[in-house]
Chains A and B, each alone.
Chain A
Amino acid sequence: MVGSIWGLGFAPVDYQQGNSYRIIYIHVPAAFLAQAMYVVMAICALVLFVWRLKLADVAMQATAVMGLAFTVLSLVSGAVWGKPTWGTYWVWDARLTSMLILGFLYLGLIGLRAAIQDPDQAGKACGILVLVGVVNLPIIKYSVEWWNTLHQPASIKLTEKPTMPASMWVPLLVNILGYYTASAYLVLGSMRAIVIGRERRASWVKELVGRA
């Protein structure tokens, strides 16, 4: 929240792009999170197969939905920003394309889960797909990058000095952290809802509902 207001309201105007650059305060964190969600999901899939924790499956279900939401958010905000800056809503550029593919992967996962009725079975099927996807994802990314690129290189890297002044990147950093914590909160919240939904016949849930 702080980051968003700081970034959208007070950061200085970019000399080349004017005010439209402010959308990076939404776009960049969303894109970060969209990719991070897949990593979280892959870890959950691994946990599910190695230790057979049911909660890992629940986390996978929650992160798939969140991941799709962030992918769509980053694509839409990118398109809105692209119109005044690049002069077009959409180009077949490497990063845009790989984000789109990522979005389709998330959609496929959600669809697969919806199609299989038994939740345990659905979770394992999704787990297989996630693991196959995680092997394939770097290949997709590099092949798409090799195919065509126009997107500017990342402005912030951990190892280098940022290419923008502090008054611009500090709010961005705050915003990225804020997105991480907010999405962790949302994922945990939806996990709670999923657990309650799945265990709706268990006695502890009935007690909980009875008290509330």
Chain B
Amino acid sequence: MLEREFKLAAARPGDIFKPMWFLMLVISIVPLALSPDSALLADIGSAMIWVATLLAILLNTEHLFQSDFADGVLEQWLFLDRPLAWLVGLKLIVHWLFHVVPLICIIPIAGLMLSVPSDVLIALLMTLVIATPALTCFSGLGAALTLGSSRSGILGVLVMMPLFVPVVILAAGVLIRATDGSEILPLMALLGAFSLVAATLVPIAVSAAIRLNIGGSN
């Protein structure tokens, strides 16, 4: 099961690069639209990187279940003797490893380009590592909910965006405190707690959504 997911993800390296490409493009647009002044960029750079990463994850996860739905793999999953939520969780983990972790890896470069100070950059990387599992789970739920509708388009993204608010606020709090040089650990812990709760509960909702979409198409 896990092996299949790994093979599938490794078979399409283009999909791994696309979000990174997107992120770098957004990062290069910012100074063009705003100003090349490095002091200004350093102030808003970390927030810009956060928003860009969020969008990259959202766009990338939108079609997470589409091909498995089309070729009937999801239907097979229903008949396995393992709980569907467990399989969904595995799929989300592999997705995170292959498509989100590379994204986090190039963020130091993006940070350098926007002249984010190094201690803030470390805090930024930590928030992203902690928060992205929650973001991946929620976007996965959006993808699963809109599986059955042919004209969903960007709807999954629109539906899920409001649910990201707490994650973004907490992460922004960490970044502001990192800029001040004050204590960031408590907020980091809250962020971690949110991510853990999301990672345990959301796969259940995702599997309910998948079951619903497959039941409806028969």
A129 interface contact, C-beta 8 A: yes
- Kindly state the separation between the CA atoms of A10 and B213 in the bound complex, as whole angstroms: 55
B202 interface contact, C-beta 8 A: yes
**Known contacts A125-B145, A128-B209, A129-B145: A118-B216 contact under CB 8 Å:** yes
A108 interface contact, C-beta 8 A: yes
A199 interface contact, C-beta 8 A: no
Quick one: which of A108, A124, A131 contacts B162, CB cutoff 8 A?
A108
- B contact face: mostly helix, strand, loop, or mixed: helix
CB-defined contacts of A144 to chain B, threshold 8 Å? 165, 169
- Kindly state the separation between the CA atoms of A135 and B141 in the bound complex, as whole angstroms: 14
B194 interface contact, C-beta 8 A: yes
Quick one: which of B160, B163, B212 contacts A121, CB cutoff 8 A?
B212
- Kindly state the separation between the CA atoms of A144 and B163 in the bound complex, as whole angstroms: 12
Interface size on A, residues (CB 8 A): 29
Instruction: Please determine whether A112 and B159 come into contact, CB atoms closer than 8 angstroms.
Output: yes
Please, what's the 1-or-0 string for B136-169, where 1 marks a CB less than 8 Å from any CB in chain A? 0000010001101101100100111111011001
Instruction: Please determine whether A111 and B166 come into contact, CB atoms closer than 8 angstroms.
Output: no
B104 interface contact, C-beta 8 A: no
A105 interface contact, C-beta 8 A: yes
What are the 3 tightest A-B residue pairs by CB atom distance, in nearest-first order? A108-B159, A121-B216, A115-B149
A-B contact pairs, 19 of them (CB 8 A): A101-B162, A105-B163, A111-B159, A112-B146, A112-B159, A115-B149, A116-B148, A118-B148, A118-B216, A120-B216, A121-B215, A128-B145, A128-B205, A128-B212, A131-B205, A132-B202, A135-B201, A143-B169, A143-B170
Give residues in B with beta carbon < 8 Å to A.
Answer: 141, 145-146, 148-149, 151-152, 155, 158-163, 165-166, 169-170, 172-173, 194, 201-202, 205, 208-209, 212-213, 215-216
